[in-house]
Amino acid sequence: MISAALPIIGMRAPASPLLRRLAAAGAATLLVNGFNFVLGVWLVRYLAPRTFGIWAMLTTLQAIAGVLLTALVAQQMAYTLPRVRHPARGRVQVNTFTSIASWCIAGFVPATAVTLHLLELPGGMVAAGCMFVAAAGIRQHARFHLYAVRRARGVLARDVAFVLLAACGVALAGSRRDLTPLLLALTLANVVAVAWRRSLPMPAVAPARVRRHALVYRRHGARATWSLVTVALSTLSALAPNLALASTGSLAALALVAAPATLLAPVRLVALTFQASLRAEFAAMIHADRRGPTLLLYAGASGAALLACLLLGGILWAGWDWLSPRVFARGYDAASLYRTTMLAFGIAAVNVVRLPGAVLLNALGVFRFSAATLAIVVPIVLASSFQLAHDGAVTAVLYPALLGEIAVFAAELTVLFRRMR
C-alpha cells in the first residue's frame, strides 16, 4: 500500500509550486487589471470623448512600446533564465536584459513626444505623457523579470504597492478634466513600485559595458528577431483600428472605438492572469520534455479564457440598455457605441483564447510560422482599416481586425497540434 502511494505523492509534488506560482500570478494580474478596469470606467464616465481619446492614444503608445519589451526582453528572459544553473551567468544575463529594456524605453520616449505634439496637445501634457509611458515600461520590465525567474509572489507584492499608490493619486487628481495630474500620479506610482525592494541592476551606459552586453545578447539574436516580428505584427493587428483613427487626427472618433475597451477589460484579464507566468512554465516543461502536462496547462488556460468570454458576452448582450447610460459619458452616439462594443468584444475574445497557444508556440521555438502568417494577414488588416478610417467609416474599421484575429488563430492552432503530436 505504501509503495503504491509513493508515485502519487511524487506526481503531485511538482504541481504544488506551479499552482502556488499561478495563484500568485493570478492575484497580481487580477489586482492590476481590476484597478485598470475601474480607472478606465471612471475616465469614460467623466471625460469628454476627445479627452478620453487622448488617454486612448497614450495607452496605444504604451502598447507599442510594450512590443519591444515583450519581444526583445520578456520572451528571451522566459526562454533563457529558467535554463541558467550558474548564479554568475544568471547575473550576466539579467544585467544584459535590463540594459536592453532600458535602451528600448529610452528610444521610444522621443517617438511618444513627437506623436503627442502632432496631435496638438499642450507641452505639459506631452511631458507628462512621455514620463507615464517610460515609467510604465520600466515597471513592465520589472514584472517580466520576476515572472521569468518564477517569483510571482514578488510581482504580487510590487503590484499591491502600485495599486495603493495609484489609487491615492487618482483620488487626489479627482474628476478634473485635465489628464496631466493623473498621468503624473500614475508615473510616480510606477516608479515607486519598481524602486521598492529593487532587485534589478542599473542599465549599462559606459561604452565598454554597452559593447559587452551587446555581445552577450547576440546569442539571442535569431530568436529575438522572430519574436519581434511576430509580436509587432500581432500588436499592429490588434491596434489597427486605433492607429487608423489616430491617423485622421480625430480623437473623438478614436474614443468611440477605444471606450468599449474599458468594459472588455475582464476578457483580457483572464488571459493576462496566466500569460506572463505561462511563458516560464511552458519553457520549463518543454525543456523537461513533459508534453502531457504542457498540453493540459494549455487546454486549461484556453478553456478558462473561452468560458470567461462567453460569460461576459452574455452579460453585455442582456444588460446593454441598463449598462450603457451608467458607464459612458454623454457625447457618444448610442447605436455606434453598441456596434463598436460588440465588434471589439469579438476581437478581444478571439485574441484572448489564442494567447496561450501563441505563448506555447514561442516556448517550442516555433517563430517563423507565426511571423509568416501575420506578415500575410496584418498588411491587409492595416490597409483596410486605414482606408475605412479615412472614408469616415468609424465602426467598420473593426471588421478587418476581427477577421485577421480569426485567420491567425486558425493557422496557429493547426501548427500547434501538429508540433505537439
pLDDT, tens only, 185-205: 999 999 888 887 665 656 655
Which cell numbers in the block locate residue 147? 515572472
In this prediction, residue 403 carries a pLDDT of 92
Is 9 within the bounds of a domain? no
In this prediction, residue 132 carries a pLDDT of 93
Is 11 within the bounds of a domain? no
In this prediction, residue 10 carries a pLDDT of 43
Is 3 within the bounds of a domain? no
Is 312 within the bounds of a domain? yes
Give the CA count within 13 Å in the CB-facing half-sphere of 405.
23
Does 386 have pLDDT greater than 90? yes
pLDDT band at 3 (very low <50, low <70, confident <90, very high): very low
Reported pTM: 0.75
> What's the per-residue H, E or C state across 284-318?
HHHHCCCHHHHHHHHHHHHHHHHHHHHHHHHHHHH
**Alpha-helical segments (H) within 119-151:** 123-148
In this prediction, residue 11 carries a pLDDT of 42
Give the CA count within 13 Å in the CB-facing half-sphere of 272.
19
Is 10 within the bounds of a domain? no
In this prediction, residue 69 carries a pLDDT of 86
**Mean pLDDT (whole number) for 292-301:** 82
Q: Structural domain of residue 255, as residue ranges?
A: 17-420
pLDDT band at 113 (very low <50, low <70, confident <90, very high): very high
Is 7 within the bounds of a domain? no
d(CA 77, CA 71): 10
In this prediction, residue 12 carries a pLDDT of 45
Q: Which stretch of 76-90, 129-143, 246-260 has the lowest confidence by average pLDDT? A: 76-90
CB atoms within 10 A of CB 173: 17
Is 6 within the bounds of a domain? no
Does 261 have pLDDT greater than 90? no
Amino acid at 374: L
Which sign, positive or negative, has the C-alpha torsion 18, 23, 26, 28? negative
Matching residue, cell 535569431:
222
In this prediction, residue 385 carries a pLDDT of 93
Alpha-carbon distance values, 358 to 77, 225, 229 (Å) = 16, 16, 13
Is 299 within the bounds of a domain? yes
Which positions ≥6 away from 25 have C-beta within 8 Å? 147, 152, 155, 156, 273, 274, 276, 277
CB atoms within 10 A of CB 379: 14
d(CA 79, CA 116): 35
Which sign, positive or negative, has the C-alpha torsion 199, 137, 146, 21? positive
**Alpha-helical segments (H) within 175-290:** 180-195, 207-217, 221-247, 251-258, 260-263, 265-287
d(CA 46, CA 105): 31
Alpha carbon 64 to its chain's center:
10
In this prediction, residue 131 carries a pLDDT of 93
222 or 232, higher pLDDT? 232
Q: What is the tally of structural domains in the chain?
A: 1
3-state helix, strand, coil in the chain (%, to 5): 85, 0, 15
